[in-house]
Amino acid sequence: MSSVNLNTSFLFHQGSRSRSPTFHLFHTLTKLPISSITTKKPQKGNRFFPFPSFSVSAVLTKEDVLKGKDENKDSEKPAFNFKSYMVSRATTVNQALNDAVSLREPQKIHEAMRYSLLAGGKRVRPVLCLAACELVGGSEAMAMPAACAIEMIHTMSLIHDDLPCMDNDDLRRGMPTNHKVFGEDVAVLAGDALLAFAFEHMAVDTAKAGVPPARIVRALGELSKAIGAEGLVAGQVVDIASEGIADVGLEKLEFIHVHKTAALLEGAVVLGAILGGGSDDEVERLRKFARCIGLLFQVVDDILDVTKSSEELGKTAGKDLVADKVTYPKLLGLEKSREFADELNKDAQAQLAAFDPDKAAPLVSLANYIAYRQN
């Protein structure tokens, strides 16, 4: 394969939603597993809340321990406990999701919504939203409805993505996909219902938390753009249209993933920053951070798809290869893809340098988790 020049400067256009295509990467990825998050098996008889608990296992590296030290002093600060943070936040998010989407009439549609919404998952997007809000001085309560809304929309995208007319997948998070359990018709409607309710829940419950209306309106606008024809939907459409095409290049691949995957991660962080009262400068720094980790998430996903088993991933491995989809390993090779992931992680964390390091620790750790996750 001919040499490929890559850079991440496209991510940093101030205030711009447009993305340009080229990258330049030449760094070595240190393959250090930071953590993995897994769901427990559903308890028999618990029909409506199939995944009431989960576990987070974190492997701290020497690099992580050193981050807890003050280089200018002999004293040592305690390292940020990513495992405890994720357990606490994911538990709170799961409870909020369970409370928001309760079982009521019509029961079948609410069962289907809850089946996928409460099926474990890493809760990366809602936790990013909460962390960004607190970083700029907001509270958990101010961002929790938005965090839940983002997870509802993410779940909708997974339900629809798994449908026979889309990726036609049978497995999601180690369980049968929604349409395999409830049928295609109900699965489509469950996704539609989650999408609609996400906006209602965010608008109504964020106001109850005392967030000024102007912030709520601005955040709703950001969320709409992230998931519509300029965001998630755009990426999905181009992704479908690119299947089987031999000459799909980096420009189109970037467009697909910046929109299909990164846009919602960006939305999660930006919503938290807006609702927490961040300044325009803080919001834009966090937007740039989120664009990097959003693309990073997909690059790592592509790598895992060709290096892990279905059992390890909790979803069908190698399906992109079978569908003849263009991926970063396919275009760049595995090692260059890993180097690009490392570049994106470094660029993401550089955007956090202007913030208080203690307050930024959750976002730093989340970026590392996304970079080094194993499923």
What does the domain layout of the chain look like in residue ranges? Answer: 82-372
Mean pLDDT lowest for which of 113-117, 136-140, 277-281, 296-300?
A: 296-300
Return phi, psi of residue 245, to 5°. Answer: -85, 125
Q: Which residue has the tokens 């909460």?
A: 130
Distances (CA, A) of 23 to 262, 270, 300, 332, 371: 16, 24, 16, 11, 18
When mean pLDDT is compared over 17-21, 25-29, 102-106, the highest value belongs to 102-106
Per residue in 150-178, pLDDT (tens digit) is 999 999 999 999 999 988 899 998 899 99
Distance CA 309, CA 162 (A): 18
Upstream peptide bond of 106 is cis (omega within 30 degrees of 0): yes
In CATH, the architecture of 82-372 is Orthogonal Bundle (1.10)
Mean pLDDT lowest for which of 41-55, 93-107, 294-308?
A: 41-55
Q: Which 8-state DSSP code applies to residue 106?
A: S
HSE at residue 315, side-chain half, CA atoms within 13 A, is 24
Asked whether residue 193 carries a pLDDT value surpassing 60, the answer given is: yes
- Percent of the chain exceeding pLDDT 90 equals 59
Q: Which of 288, 244, 283 is nearest to 262 (CA)?
A: 288
Predicted pLDDT of residue 322: 52
Asked whether residue 236 carries a pLDDT value surpassing 80, the answer given is: yes
Asked whether residue 45 carries a pLDDT value surpassing 50, the answer given is: no
The three-state secondary structure class of 195 is helix
pTM value surpassing 0.85: no
Predicted pLDDT of residue 321: 54
Distance CA 269, CA 273 (A): 6
Predicted pLDDT of residue 74: 45
Predicted pLDDT of residue 317: 57
Distance CA 202, CA 206 (A): 6
Predicted pLDDT of residue 81: 93
